[in-house]
């Protein structure tokens, strides 16, 4: 908490930098000189002003503090610090969710030694590790001098399921958090199934849920819809919802979604 407070006391408010670009539509300030010199008249040169880095760091820090206050502690100092940062910075130009903190895109925002110290402090407040990502898997790496205040149980459960899958299928058969892109109503979206297993003739999509199912009525339709979407995107022939505890007999379930049959299985893994 002190690291976060020190950082924002030392650094000034957000700066603004100008970005030059061209497109076929006018969306920002017209760059007269560049358009006169441009031979290709289909290119419309423009300028726009963007908030410099520190406003983004402020938004990330505020969201982390908000998560910390909501899920871990009602600490007065944390609330006071959150309010101070919100009052000082313009936080409307950049959106951030705490789960994005481990992405390379966010990590690249923290460049100087002070910023990296801030990043480490935010990770500690969230109770998460630093992740290395590539196209097929995500590997957890421990940062030095880091002590988590708490861990998200749903993330830990995913790693329990991962260990079970490694014993059953081997590491080479497992893809974790692979990204699939799709479009709905002209909007680009992405999906990241928890696990995809490719083994012999089987292609299995698995979604790990940190929930206790006492009855079948407690199965969330959102969870079913997500599994159905992931099964289609991954071109899987099997789908499984995994839970740490199920209070009834595990079984196959068949539903009709969008006039098509969707079969999946409930399994207890712990």
Number of domains composing the chain: 2
Domain shared by 69 and 121, yes or no: yes
On whether residue 147 sits in a domain, the answer given is no
* pLDDT tens digits along 182-203: 888 888 888 999 999 998 888 9
Domain shared by 87 and 51, yes or no: yes
Write out the residue range of the structural domain in which residue 229 sits. Answer: 153-268
Domain shared by 3 and 106, yes or no: yes
Domain shared by 110 and 200, yes or no: no
What are the structure tokens assigned to 263, written together?
């079969």
* Residue at a domain's end among 130, 162, 192: 130
* Residue at a domain's end among 130, 164, 183: 130
Stated pTM of the model: 0.48
Instruction: Note the pLDDT of residue 264.
Output: 93
Distance between CA atoms of 227 and 224, rounded to whole angstroms? 5
Cβ atoms of residues 72 and 149 within 8 Å: yes
Instruction: Note the pLDDT of residue 164.
Output: 93
Domain shared by 96 and 178, yes or no: no
Instruction: Give the CA distances from residue 242 to residues 151, 237, 253, 261, 268, in Å, rounded to whole numbers and listed in that order.
Output: 20, 16, 13, 20, 6
* pLDDT tens digits along 198-254: 988 889 999 999 888 888 888 888 899 999 999 999 999 999 999 999 988 877 888
């Amino acid at each position: 908490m002190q690291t976060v407070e020190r950082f924002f006391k030392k650094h000034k408010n957000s700066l603004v930098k100008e970005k030059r670009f061209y497109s076929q539509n006018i969306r920002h300030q017209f760059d007269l000189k560049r358009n006169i010199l441009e031979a290709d008249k289909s290119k419309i040169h423009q300028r726009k002003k963007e908030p410099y880095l520190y406003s983004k760091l402020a938004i990330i820090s505020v969201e982390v503090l908000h998560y910390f206050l909501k899920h871990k502690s009602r600490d007065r100092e944390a609330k006071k610090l959150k309010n101070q940062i919100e009052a000082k910075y313009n936080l409307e130009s950049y959106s951030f969710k705490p789960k994005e903190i481990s992405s390379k895109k966010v990590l690249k925002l923290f460049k100087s030694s002070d910023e990296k110290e801030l990043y480490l402090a935010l990770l500690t407040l969230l109770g998460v590790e630093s992740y290395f990502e590539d196209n097929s898997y995500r590997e957890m790496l421990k940062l030095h001098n880091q002590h988590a205040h708490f861990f998200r149980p749903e993330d830990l459960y995913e790693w329990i399921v991962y260990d079970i899958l490694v014993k059953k299928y081997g590491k080479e058969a497992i893809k974790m958090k692979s990204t699939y892109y799709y479009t709905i109503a002209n909007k680009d979206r992405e999906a990241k199934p928890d696990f995809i297993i490719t083994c012999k003739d089987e292609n299995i999509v698995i979604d790990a849920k940190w929930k206790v199912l006492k009855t079948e009525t407690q199965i969330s339709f959102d969870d079913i819809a997500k599994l159905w979407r992931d099964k289609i995107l991954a071109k899987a022939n099997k789908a499984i919802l995994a839970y740490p505890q199920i209070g009834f007999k595990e079984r196959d379930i068949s539903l009709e979604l969008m006039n098509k049959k969707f079969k999946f299985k409930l399994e207890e893994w712990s």
